[in-house]
Amino acid sequence: MSKPKVAFFDFTSCEGCQLNKLNFENDLLDMLKLVDIVEFREAMDNRADEYDIAFIEGSISSPTCVERIHDIRRRTKILVALGQCAVSGGINAMKNDQPSEWVRETVYGEDKYLFPSLPAMPVSAVVKVDYEIRGCPMSPPEYLHVLKSLLLGRKPELKDYAVCVECKLKENECVLDKGMFCLGPVTRAGCEAICPSFGQYCTGCRGPVSDLNKDGAVNMLKAHGFSEAEAIKRMKMFNTNDLEKTISWGAK
């Protein structure tokens, strides 16, 4: 049996999620025994026509992105959104809250007409996404779990509970109790609570849990001494699209 063909593509992103994959020095060679990587711009020159699994990094934010992602979707059996930009628009979606003309002018100045731009969208806003690997950057153990599951023909088990669960399993001291800010109670787990485990707070980079109590979260942060404006601003950093629920086209 031939090995499954795997490809990686980047859209609007910092390419950090892909880079994170090249960092699995201990597992990389074992992984290559199981799959053929047929396209991976960051690591090789080869191109291919068809894929069994395509991993997509980055948000969709220009007409060219839309064309490319449709083309990839046509050529792959399974499509996985890799990292928060691909899953929700991520940090790129912060611009969706601003007037689009102003955003383009700020970035491109008088050449703004040469660079058509769309609001930063999740891949799933344009094509069907089969699985999502969240996080900024994506978490390597979760990525390996999804890859192994797909190779074995199993449905990956992705977590839809709060980072608090992983903190409690590790018996971390609560960062809110230390007087710090934290979005752990409403952010999806799967990162092994890596930030709180090392004394940082959760910035919400994996997006909110699916049954988010948004008002409850704002009130919780207010009770811990943060203003409503600050609470919403910090929640929106990675999650503008999730919190607005509709994609703003910037026409303000």
Partner 1 sequence: MQSKTNTHLQDLDYLFFDEATLRQFIVYLQTRAEVIAPHAKGERSYMYKPVKDAKEVVLNYPRTIQPLKKFFLPPTETLLTFKLSDNQYVEQTPEPGKRIFFGIHSYELQAILRLDYSFEKGNPESNYLTRRANALFIGISYKPDAYHFGKSVGIEIEKTDGFSLFIEPMENGYFIFIVDEAGRTLLEGFQAPQTQALVFEQQEKEFHNKIKYHHNRLPEVFEHAYHSDVWKDVSQRCLGCGTCNLLCPTCYCFDVRDEIELDAENGTRQRFWDGCMLHDFTRVAGDEVFRDKLHNRTRHRLFRKFKYITDHSGELSCVGCGRCTSFCPAKISIVEIINQLIKDVSEVKSI
Q: Applying CB under 8 A, does 235 fall inside the site for partner 1?
A: no
**Region near partner 1 per CB under 8 A, out of 50-58, 65-73, 114-122, 163-171:** 163-171
Return the residue of 219, 227, 233, 244 that touches partner 1, per CB under 8 A: 219
Q: Applying CB under 8 A, does 232 fall inside the site for partner 1?
A: no
Rounded to the nearest whole angstrom, what is the least distance from the CB of residue 205 to partner 1 in the complex? 17
Rounded to the nearest whole angstrom, what is the least distance from the CB of residue 130 to partner 1 in the complex? 15
Q: Applying CB under 8 A, does 118 fall inside the site for partner 1?
A: no
3-state secondary structure the chain: CCCCEEEEEECECCCHHHHHHHCCHHHHHHHHHHCEEEEECCCCCCCCCCEEEEEEECEECCHHHHHHHHHHHHHEEEEEEECHHHHHCHHHHHHHHCCHHHHHHHHHHHHHHHCCCCCCECHHHCCCCCEEECECCECHHHHHHHHHHHHCCCCCCCCCCEHHHHHHHCCCCCCCCCCCCCCHHHEECCCCCHHHHCCCCCCCCCCECCCCCHHHHHHHHHHCCCCHHHHHHHHHHHHHHHHHCCCCCCCC
Rounded to the nearest whole angstrom, what is the least distance from the CB of residue 199 to partner 1 in the complex? 9
Name the residues that contact partner 1, by CB under 8 A.
27, 30-31, 33-34, 144-145, 148-149, 151-152, 157, 160-162, 164-165, 168-174, 176-178, 182, 184-186, 209-211, 213, 215-217, 219-220, 223-224
